[in-house]
Structure 1
Amino acid sequence: MPQFFLNKRLILLLVSIIILVALIGFSLQDRDKLTWPEQFVKDSVGWVQSVFHKPAQSLAGFFNNINDIQHTYEENKLLKEKLDRHVLLEKEAQILKKENQELKDVLDKTESLDEYDSIQATVINRDPTLWYDLLTVNRGSQHGVEANMAVITAQGLIGKVKNVSAYHSTVQLLSSPDRKNRISAKVQGEKDRYFVIEGYDEEKASLLLKEIPFEVEVEEGQAVLTSGLGGVFPSDLLVGEVTEVVADNYGLTKTAYVKPAADFYEIKNVIIVERKMDSGVSEEGEEE
């Protein structure tokens, strides 16, 4: 009995081997058509692949997109930092270029003031509540600065020294509301006319050239300079330009609006000047 079952198992094994070899040989043949088991297996595998391929591809694409976004974010961050540094450097270069030009203009102006002693100074303080009134510079009595000296920029006159300490000075601007803030000036023309500038119109940002006789011709576009008559301010320093002339209330005199040549809002570097020679001519009233 055991011998029978052993022979039976051996026979089944041989038959299985023969069938397997036959299937392998059959599958290796060149055929135009597949058997139905092959078709079934192939279709099943293809269907399973199609089911899992799209989600797997979408998932892979999702992670790829996440990775691309992260890289893009890092690149944008780096580019933004570089751009910010570039903008900062460009602004610094513009500021330095502007300061260099201002210093060059001040130096050229200083060299042109042969008749006066000049002291270069830098603005170190300016109270926002007194922006158009006073400012402080880094030169004082130890540098030769005295009260009532004229203060100019490369563009023109801005004011005078109000008070002095050892190493600093306070400058009163022409736009100061102080009623004593007056300056003897002349209007250039075929014949120079001499008047007094007193007051400042904040709305029009203009100095006021007052007490012009009605019959005296003063026109828009004429230059206004310091007269030098009082011996305090140098002569022929540019103050500004006439922009408008209006009659006073009673029509007896006129007032001219003078646009300052210098920018009172932005002042960084100034020149403090004093005459080398004495003037024998003085003017009634206080000249500033």
Structure 2
Amino acid sequence: MNMKKNKLTVVVIILSVTFLSLIGYSANRGKMSFVENGVGVTINSVQGLFYDSLYKISSSFQFITNVSKVKTQNEELRKSNSKYQSKALEYSASIKENERLRSMFKFSELKDQYNYVGADIIGISGNSFTDGFIISEGEDKGIKKGMIAMTGEGLVGQVTSVGNNWSIVQSLSNKNIAVAALVHRTRDNNGIVKGYTDKNNKPLAEIDRLSLDSGVKKGDVIETSGLGGIYPAGIQIGKVLSVHEDKGEVMKSAIVQPYVDFSKIEEVFIVIPKNPREIKY
């Protein structure tokens, strides 16, 4: 194959030299002969074919080289894009964490008679979050049974079991938890909030024992009243979804959507009184 290419190259060179000689000779005569013109056409055809072949080979080589470069560039872009996506997720998580801490800080400033111990949720106690969950702090941080768990969004529940470096918290959606509560707008403060599950098994809460003349309505905010000395007053619980009258029991009740999504929380703050003698658990 190489020998054929070498022979073709030699032929083209000879024809080119011959053609140049004819051009020089013809230039002095002003007009080509029939033979000279035929030779020129032949040489030009061979040169065109040879150049076209070389151009195609060169273009193919450049294409292969470019494909390799593009592939490398795409791989670098993919890695870079993956890195930026990871950074964006970290940034988003940091923003959300800062928002949670900011909300908690505002509450702690208003309720400075308490200390607040942060704890991560490390497991579920039971079949779901409605049964309770395990947190990463316990007696070694001053946590005791009966203390309150909350986030910056509102009330989570109550500590029901304590170990040296772990505790179990039952959420507000558990029917075993009862919280003295009031309607923020009307200040009706004789309500009790308990866990409630709707027909679709959605975990909610219910406030009952409200008087029939209570002005509670859809959209009202329910919060802890502080009665009983267990739950600090002013912790938001949720928003009223619907109101119901029970004339036989001579009272009103309301279904409440908790502000905290118990299935999505990642950490809680345990409310610890600075003077434990003021609180009876």
TM-score normalised by length of structure 2? 0.78
**Offset, 1:191:** 4.3
The alpha carbon displacement at 1:255 in A equals: 2.7
Measured after TM superposition, the shift of residue 257 of structure 1 is 1.4
Aligned with residue 237 of structure 2, among 236, 239, 255: 239
For 1:88, give the aligned amino acid.
S
Output aligned runs, 1:120-159, within 5 Å: 120-126=118-124, 129-159=127-157
Match of 1:10 in 2: none
Distance 1:68 1:117, change over 3 A: closer
Instruction: Give the corresponding residue for 2:181.
Output: 185
Aligned equivalents of 2:144, 2:85: Cα separation in 1: 43
Give a deviation string over 1:97-140, Cα, whole Å, max 9, x none: 32233234333433332233432323233469413331222221
Give distance in 2, aligned partners of 1:43 and 1:145: 102
Contact 2:186 2:216 in 1 (8 A): no
- Partners of 1:268 and 1:189 lie apart in 2 by 31
Matched residues, number: 258
Determine if contact 1:233/1:274 at 8 Å carries over to the other structure: no
Cα distance in 1 for residues equivalent to 2:248 and 2:122: 45
Structure 2 residue 158 is matched with structure 1 residue 171:
no
Per-residue CA distance 1:236-268 (angstroms, 9 max, x = gap): 221122121134597954431112122323223
Aligned identity (percent) is 25
Calculate the aligned-residue CA RMSD, in Å. 3.1
Q: How does 1:21-100 map to 2 (within 5 A)?
A: 27=25, 30-100=28-98
Q: Distance in 2 between matches of 1:106 and 1:193?
A: 24
Contact 1:238–1:261 under 8 Å retained in 2: yes
For residue 265 of structure 1, what is the aligned residue in structure 2? Answer: 263
Partners in 2 of 1:50 and 1:189 — Cα distance?
93
Q: What residue ranges of structure 2 are gaps of 5+ in the alignment?
A: 1-20
Asked whether the 8 Å contact 2:125–2:134 carries over to 1, the reply is no
- Unaligned regions of 5+ residues in structure 1, if any? 1-22
Deviates more, 1:245-254 or 1:205-214: 245-254
Mapped partners of 2:116, 2:49: distance in 1: 91
How far did residue 184 of structure 1 move? 1.5
Question: Could you tell me how far apart the structure 2 residues matched to 1:241 and 1:55 are?
Answer: 80
Contact 1:201-1:207 within 8 A present in 2 as well:
yes
Aligned match of 2:12: none
